[in-house]
Structure 1
Amino acid sequence: MAQQSCASEVKIGVVADWPPLTAVDERGAYGLDVEIARKVFSELNICPRFLRLPTSARSLDQLGKGAVDVLLMVSYVQERAELGVFSDPYRWEKMRLFSLRQPRMAMDLKALLRLGYRIGLSIGSYYGEELKNLADNPDFGHLLVGISGSTQRVEMLAKKRVDFIIEDEILGRFMGRKLGIKNFYIWDYPVHNNQVHFLLRKGLFDAAQLARFNGVIKRLRPDIDKLVEHYTHHTVPRGAH
Structure 2
Amino acid sequence: MKILLFITLFTFSAFNAWGCTKTLTVATNESYWPPYVILKNNALGGTEIDVLKAIFKSSPYCLNFSVLPSSLRAFEELKQGRVDLIFAASKTAERAEYAHFTLPYRVEKMLLYKHASSPNVNSINELFKKSLTVGVNRGSVFGDAFEQLRTQYANQVVLTGESKKRFILLNKQRINFLIDDSLVAQYFTKQYSNIMPAALVEPINVNNVHFMLSKKTVTADDIAAINSYITNNKAVIERIYQSHQ
TM-score, length-normalised on structure 2?
A: 0.85
Contact 2:121 2:198 in 1 (8 A): no
Matched, 1:170 2:187: no
Query: How much has 1:9 moved relative to structure 2?
Result: 1.7
Query: How much has 1:55 moved relative to structure 2?
Result: 2.1
Q: Which of 10, 13, 18 does residue 24 from structure 2 map onto?
A: 10
Classify the secondary structure of the residue corresponding to 1:231. coil
Matched, 1:159 2:178: no
Matched, 1:40 2:55: yes
Q: Deviations over 1:152-171 (max 9, x none)?
A: 10000000010111111111
Alpha-carbon RMSD across the aligned residues, in angstroms, is: 2.1
| d(CA) in 1 for partners of 2:118, 2:155 | 23
| d(CA) in 1 for partners of 2:83, 2:39 | 16
Corresponding residue for 1:65? 80
Matched, 1:131 2:142: no
Gaps of 5+ in 1: 233-241
Q: Which of 83, 88, 96 does residue 103 from structure 2 map onto?
A: 88
Displacement over 6 Å in runs of 4+: 102-106
Matched, 1:181 2:224: no
Contact 1:96 1:169 in 2 (8 A): yes
Query: How much has 1:102 moved relative to structure 2?
Result: 8.6
Matched, 1:49 2:60: no
Contact 1:57 1:125 in 2 (8 A): no
> Partner letter of residue 23 of structure 2?
E
Matched, 1:193 2:206: yes
Gaps of 5+ in 2: 1-14
**Aligned residues with identical type, % of pairs:** 25
Query: How much has 1:144 moved relative to structure 2?
Result: 0.7
| d(CA) in 1 for partners of 2:121, 2:179 | 17
Paired residues, number: 227
TM-score, length-normalised on structure 1?
A: 0.86
